[in-house]
Amino acid sequence: MNFEERQKKAIADWEELERGARPRIYIGSATCGRAAGALKLVGVIEAELARHNIQADIVHVGCIGLCYLEPLVDIVKPGRPRISYANVTPRNVGKIIEEYLVNDNPSPELALGVLSETALDGIGRFSDLPMLKPQVRIVTANCGIIDPEKIEHYVGRGGYGGLVRALGMTPEQVIEEIKKSGLRGRGGAGFPTGMKWEFCRKAPGDTKYIICNADEGDPGAFMNRSLLESDPHSLLEGMLIGAYAMGATEAYIYVRAEYPLAVERLKLALKQMEEWGLVGDNILASNLSLHIKIKEGAGAFVCGEETALIASIEGRRGMPRPRPPFPAQAGLWGKPTNINNVETWADAASIMRKGAEWYAGHGAEKSKGTKTFALAGKINNTGLVEVPLGTPLRKIIYEIGGGIPDGKAFKAVQTGGPSGGCLPASLLDLHVEYESLAQAGAIMGSGGMVVMDEDTCMVDVARYFLTFTQSESCGKCVPCRVGTRKMLDILEDITKGKGQPEDIDLLLDLSEAIKAGSLCGLGQTAPNPVLTTVRYFRDEYEAHVREQRCPALACKDLIAFYILPDKCVACGICLRNCPAQAIAGAKKMVHVIDQSKCTKCSTCLDVCPVKFSAVAKVSGEQIEVPGEPTPVTALERDKVAASK
């Protein structure tokens, strides 16, 4: 069978699956779903189907992005739309299946939504969920919908149509199309993709390489993992298109070793491509030949940088080198090389399938199209979202993300990982675009968004990121190697209450020097978390330095716990739970914390019953309490209050 025939069959099969004569059960089983227990559901579902003698297909799908609702199970009855159920447990999944497939009751009270144009049996539309409604899903269109281990599903939903279209054009026309779409690099700085491709196309040389950067190293980011696990063929199609446009014959996918499932799925996808004639020599009987190899990273953040990544593929330490020459002129083995991020490649496939104008119809003036973001931290709806560029932060955090848990106040959102910055509440109306984020001192990065609330100390966050960049600095250039070390020392002092008044300005000076003097992006952006936290939260730095006070009550060395004599009823819970044996007390005697023994683990505060709330956490102040246990007064007072 040639590709066209296979494609026809795949499309027909997909439609058949959508309409099908048998019920189907979809289980979200990417890493998040698995961690939430998705695979434990399979056995229960199979047993339930067998018990009722129901013939049904079980389809494993990737991640739809609603990580906080995992595990997700969708059920389709022949002739009816797909109904999605959230937070499914081994205990209730049998009941859901029995009710719907046997008793024809879709349990609307348990259903999350229905994947169709109209509501059904009292179940609202899935796409109307607050987390999904503002989203525009282009790169994630297949995620959670298809089985990522089946190339037929990808092709059945239009996959590799972009490649077919590209092969009907000249390489120059393909580059023109990508330029027209306005696509910019989705991995970091946002360089125009079409221009980058053109540089590589025009570079002299017979052998050219393309590389997919899947070394998603930013802590707090998982967009690429999700896409690799949920729809691996999308980026592979993009790579074929890029190879055709640039005249490359060899390709590498550099993927983190921390993502075993992603590696597994990529390997399987490549095998399928071989069977379908989509990789190797003369792909789809054209003059395009591409050989793709997978390289597993070995755990070095700096390898996200282009020249370090190339060094790593060549078998060396992942250390960056000065540019120029840029990889487009002299990259892997000295040959012209183009490196794009996972999402950029996948976007290129969508653009070629549906056209540059369609793609450019989404997004903002200078930042076209959509971008995926990983929402995490102190936010209700954690997960993966895709929105048009230009969407305000407020919309992403409050509408899609559902705001901050436990009624706490929003303090900051951190974008762009260790190279990015912390943006305060006053910037919530900022539109998420490459330029606006840069102006605010942050970067788009690969799309991590970690939300912080009032309990997060911004000095501690800066210290956290510097710990990271300092340990990940490759050590090649002095400003980064020594500079980040010095900045970390100062930040550690400040969080311990040992900061000097001049330290804050010293941090700013060091930041400028490191930015200006470092060799690669890691060093040049390492000070960003410090610069933005000083810029927007200087008062927190001042409180640490001048008053030895941590306003967020987070820095261990600056906080203290006290048991309030007028509230303690001597119930003994804190005394029994204190891991440091730092609490003294007895029956009917108010308990007392020995400050010299206290490790500030917060156990006493956590276990003290809310109705008593007798433990206070403070910073920068002392509460006057007796030095030794004294008779309880709280109960007497309560009795008096009750009698009144």
Partner 1 sequence: MDVKTGNKLQEIFPRYKGRPEELIPLLQEVQAELGYLPEDVLLEISHFLKVPESTLYGVSTFYAQFKLNPVGKKMVRVCRGTACHVRGAAKVLEEAEKRLGIKDGETTEDLEYSLESIACFGSCALAPVMVVDKEVHGRMTTARVKDVLGNSK
| Residue 36 engages partner 1 in binding (rule: CB under 8 A) | yes
State how far the alpha carbon of 101 is from the alpha carbons of 56, 94, 97, in Å: 10, 10, 6
**CB burial of residue 610 (10 Å; 0-12, 13-18, 19+):** exposed
**Shortest Cβ 418–partner 1 spacing (Å):** 8
Q: How far apart are CA 464 and CA 441, in angstroms?
A: 18
| Residue 101 engages partner 1 in binding (rule: CB under 8 A) | no
**Shortest Cβ 476–partner 1 spacing (Å):** 11
Closer to partner 1 at the Cβ: 114 or 488? Answer: 488
Tokens representing residue 381 in the block: 């709806």
| Residue 60 engages partner 1 in binding (rule: CB under 8 A) | no
> Alpha helices, DSSP H only, in 247-327?
260-275, 306-313
Tokens representing residue 353 in the block: 């399938």
Backbone angles phi, psi at 319, to 5 degrees: -115, 135
| Residue 464 engages partner 1 in binding (rule: CB under 8 A) | yes
| Residue 519 engages partner 1 in binding (rule: CB under 8 A) | no
**Shortest Cβ 119–partner 1 spacing (Å):** 27
Closest of 531, 413, 412 to residue 466, by C-alpha: 531
**Shortest Cβ 76–partner 1 spacing (Å):** 26
Q: Provide CB contacts within 8 A for 136, sequence distance 6+.
A: 362, 370, 386, 387, 388
CB 230, CB 384: distance < 8 Å: no
| Residue 187 engages partner 1 in binding (rule: CB under 8 A) | no
Closer to partner 1 at the Cβ: 125 or 321? Answer: 321
- Interface residue with partner 1 among 104, 275, 314, 636 (CB under 8 A) is 314
Query: Which of 87-95, 98-106, 233-241, 450-458 is the region at the interface with partner 1 (rule: CB under 8 A)?
Result: 450-458
CB 314, CB 306: distance < 8 Å: no
Q: Considering only residues 246-265, where is the footprint of partner 1 by CB under 8 A?
A: 256-260
Closer to partner 1 at the Cβ: 2 or 471? Answer: 471
| Residue 526 engages partner 1 in binding (rule: CB under 8 A) | no
**Shortest Cβ 477–partner 1 spacing (Å):** 15
CB 301, CB 309: distance < 8 Å: no
Q: Give me the 70-99 binding string for partner 1, x by CB under 8 A, dash otherwise.
A: ------------------------------
| Residue 154 engages partner 1 in binding (rule: CB under 8 A) | no
Residue 95 C-alpha from the chain's centroid? 33
# residues near partner 1 by CB under 8 A: 56
State how far the alpha carbon of 439 is from the alpha carbons of 231, 436, 545, 592, in Å: 34, 5, 28, 51
Closer to partner 1 at the Cβ: 36 or 593? Answer: 36
| Residue 312 engages partner 1 in binding (rule: CB under 8 A) | yes
- Interface residue with partner 1 among 48, 177, 198, 216 (CB under 8 A) is 216
Q: Which segments of 505-621 are extended strands (E)?
A: 559-563, 583-586, 589-593, 615-619
- Note the residues at the interface with partner 1 (CB under 8 A): 31-32, 34-36, 67-68, 216-222, 225, 256-260, 295-301, 312-318, 374-378, 382-384, 414, 417, 448, 450, 452, 456, 461, 464-465, 468, 472, 474, 579, 601
